[in-house]
Structures are given as structure tokens and as C-alpha cells.
């Protein structure tokens, strides 16, 4: 036997479905790609939905063409980045210390005042930067992976279409700074 409470719940569910289903269908319609029957730029419903409730992954992702910060050992030229996450040193992804390196590197880069342009080959950039004045910066991050003499770089990634070509590096250094990173004791809460 259907009780009055069950009937109220069923009525509430039906009403919510009737209100949300059209919104879902209009949203799905606006997200479909344009086709011959419905070309882009000629649909007012799609334009209105895109303006009022925009959808997309831009909030969650970073453009693959956006500049990146890199860091290299000043003596060897080897990268100091502890990525990718699945390396043996990162316990095949179980360690989360490499996740802290991005904010640590941003903290270091924010203290650099003198960047040098470097539109050349990586080795030439390192060679020229070796003669530049060393800037002292503090690294007071809780997890410290960057200490001592280093080159901090601003790099532009190579487009995917060219990555497999012989002699093409994964990124092109655009600017470089020679730094000495002093690693202070981590600040602990009392």
C-alpha cells in the first residue's frame, strides 16, 4: 500500500525531474558540435546557453602552449624537477612530494629580479648564464627539493607536431636567471 509520505516523495521526484530534465536537455544540445542541420553561428539557443551557463574544461586545464618554469643544476645542467610522478624515486606515484615542487619553484621564481633573454640553444643559454651575476634567493618551503646553485628558466613548450623531429628539444628557453637557493629550516607551527 502506498502511504501519503510515499506519494509526496514520488510527486516531489516527478516535479524535480520535470524541472531539471529540460535544463539538462538544453545544456546537452548546446554542447553538441555543429553539424549540417545546425551550423555554428546560426543558433540563438546555443548562443544564449553559452553566454548564461558556459561549459568547458578551461577551468580545469592549463594550455599546453603556455610558458613554463624550469630549474636546472648550475654545475651539470641536469633538470632538478622531480617529475614525472611515476618515477621510482616518487614511489611510482605514491609519494606526493613532487606535487609541492610547483609552488616551491613559483616561490623561488617570484624572488628573481634579473632575467636574461635567451632565444638560443639550451647549452648556449647555460654557458652565457654561467657568466651572469648570481642572485641569492630563499627557499623556505616546507618540502625543499631545490637548493644551491641553479638556473631558473622561463620556457616555451615545443608544439606537439614538432616534438618527434630529430634535434628538437621538448621546450625552448626564453629567459634564464642564475641563482643560489638558500634552504632555510622549514617553518613549523608551534
| Number of Cβ within a 10 Å radius of residue 142 | 10
- pLDDT tens digits for range 31-75: 777 776 666 666 777 778 878 877 666 666 777 788 899 999 999
Is the bond into 84 cis (omega within 30 degrees of 0)?
Answer: yes
CB 160 within 8 A of CB 67: no
Which one, of 125, 135, 18, lies nearest residue 72 by Cα?
Answer: 125
pLDDT at 139: 93
The more confident residue out of 6 and 50 is 6
Q: Is the pLDDT of residue 166 over 90?
A: no
Instruction: Identify the band that residue 154 occupies on the pLDDT scale cut at 50, 70 and 90.
Output: very high
Least confident of 59-68, 72-81, 145-154: 59-68
Q: Is the pLDDT of residue 181 over 70?
A: yes
Amino acid at each position: 500500500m502506498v502511504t501519503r509520505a510515499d506519494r509526496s516523495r514520488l510527486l516531489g521526484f516527478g516535479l524535480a525531474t520535470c524541472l531539471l530534465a529540460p535544463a539538462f536537455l538544453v545544456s546537452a544540445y548546446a554542447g553538441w558540435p555543429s553539424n549540417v542541420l545546425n551550423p555554428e553561428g546560426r543558433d540563438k539557443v546555443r548562443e544564449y546557453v553559452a553566454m548564461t551557463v558556459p561549459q568547458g574544461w578551461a577551468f580545469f586545464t592549463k594550455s599546453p602552449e603556455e610558458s613554463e618554469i624550469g630549474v636546472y643544476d648550475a654545475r651539470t645542467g641536469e633538470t632538478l624537477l622531480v617529475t614525472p610522478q611515476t618515477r621510482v624515486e616518487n614511489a611510482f606515484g605514491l609519494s606526493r612530494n613532487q606535487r609541492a615542487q610547483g609552488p616551491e619553484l613559483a616561490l623561488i621564481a617570484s624572488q628573481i629580479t634579473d632575467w636574461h633573454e635567451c632565444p638560443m640553444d639550451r647549452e648556449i643559454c647555460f654557458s652565457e648564464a654561467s657568466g651572469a651575476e648570481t642572485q641569492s634567493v630563499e627557499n623556505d618551503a616546507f618540502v625543499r627539493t631545490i637548493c644551491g646553485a641553479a638556473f631558473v628558466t622561463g620556457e616555451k613548450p615545443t608544439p606537439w607536431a614538432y616534438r618527434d623531429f630529430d634535434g628538437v628539444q621538448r621546450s625552448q628557453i626564453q629567459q634564464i636567471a642564475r641563482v643560489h637557493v638558500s634552504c632555510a629550516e622549514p617553518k613549523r607551527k608551534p
